[in-house]
Amino acid sequence: MSSTLLIHHLNDSRSQRILWLVEELGVPYEVKRYERGADRLAPKELKEVNPLGGAPVITDGGRNLPESGAIVEYIISKYGEGRAQPPEAGMLDNLYFTHYSEASLMPMLVQQLIFKMIPAQAPFLIRPLLNAIFNKISAGFIEPRLKLHADMIEKHLEKCGDWIAGGSEPTAADYMMVFCLEAWGNSSPFLLGPKTKAYVNRAHARPAYKRALEKGGEYKYAGDL
């Protein structure tokens, strides 16, 4: 059995953040790629390592571990050797944003995406009606909530420096947040402030991030904001 960390990577997914993390830490690893189908869904083969069929998943020591947040914390704890740790003053920010990213922010972004997908996939004759309905719901409910999130993130980045926890290198919070902001910037960048866009672009400029793109292949969120 190989002792090398194996990352099960799905294109255009959260698993890109795991590739970035291990490249930053210099962890030896292998990649097993999975490609989305024409329907943009993950292939059924992913269910062999994750019963829910999603990515990322890592295999380490013969055991599989799904879920981005769990994987990020596990890799930093086991392989970080003191890296990717927040300074004492940034510990709470690191903890908060690590969990905020998927618990609060990403559900709103997914809801926004679903509201766009439903009219687009509806029969042609009712598409205009559904567009009107879902655009009104989005404008009245989702966008005001996302504006609150965008303002909170922007204000934090104005005071924390280059990275979420205020340190000199990315921590768990950054690996979790950057993907969310990439996806957000791909769908509605007009809500994101200049500090937020600069933050994502700063991550994109790192050599480790670029190496992760080479290892992962197709990734539609790689463009700067």
Q: Is residue 217, in this structure, part of any structural domain at all? A: no
Give the long-range contacts of residues 47-50, CB within 8 A, separation 24 or more: 49/8, 50/8
Q: Is residue 160, in this structure, part of any structural domain at all? A: yes
Q: Note whether 93 and 199 are same-domain residues.
A: yes
Q: How far is CA 225 from the centre of its chain?
A: 15
Asked whether residue 124 carries a pLDDT value surpassing 90, the answer given is no
Q: Note whether 112 and 147 are same-domain residues.
A: yes
Task: Characterize 67-98 residue by residue with b for buried, 16 or more Cβ atoms within 10 angstroms of its Cβ, and e for exposed.
Answer: bbbebbbebbeebbeeebbbeeebeebbeebb
Range of the domain at 71: 5-79
Q: Note whether 72 and 144 are same-domain residues.
A: no
What CATH number does the domain containing 26 carry?
Answer: 3.40.30.10
Q: Note whether 67 and 15 are same-domain residues.
A: yes
pLDDT attached to residue 55: 96
Asked whether residue 2 carries a pLDDT value surpassing 80, the answer given is no
Nearest to 60 by CA among 83, 79, 85: 79
Q: Please count the structural domains in the chain.
A: 2
Residues 6+ apart with CB under 8 A from 130: 118, 119, 122
Q: Is residue 62, in this structure, part of any structural domain at all? A: yes
What CATH number does the domain containing 190 carry?
Answer: 1.20.1050
The per-residue pLDDT for range 45-96, each reduced to its tens digit, is 999 999 999 999 999 999 999 999 999 999 999 999 999 999 999 999 999 9
Q: Is residue 225, in this structure, part of any structural domain at all? A: no
Asked whether residue 169 carries a pLDDT value surpassing 70, the answer given is yes
Average pLDDT of the chain is: 94
Q: Note whether 72 and 102 are same-domain residues.
A: no
Q: CA-CA distance, 3 to 87, in Å (whole number)?
A: 31
Asked whether residue 172 carries a pLDDT value surpassing 90, the answer given is yes
Residue of 135 and 181 predicted with greater confidence: 181
pLDDT attached to residue 1: 38
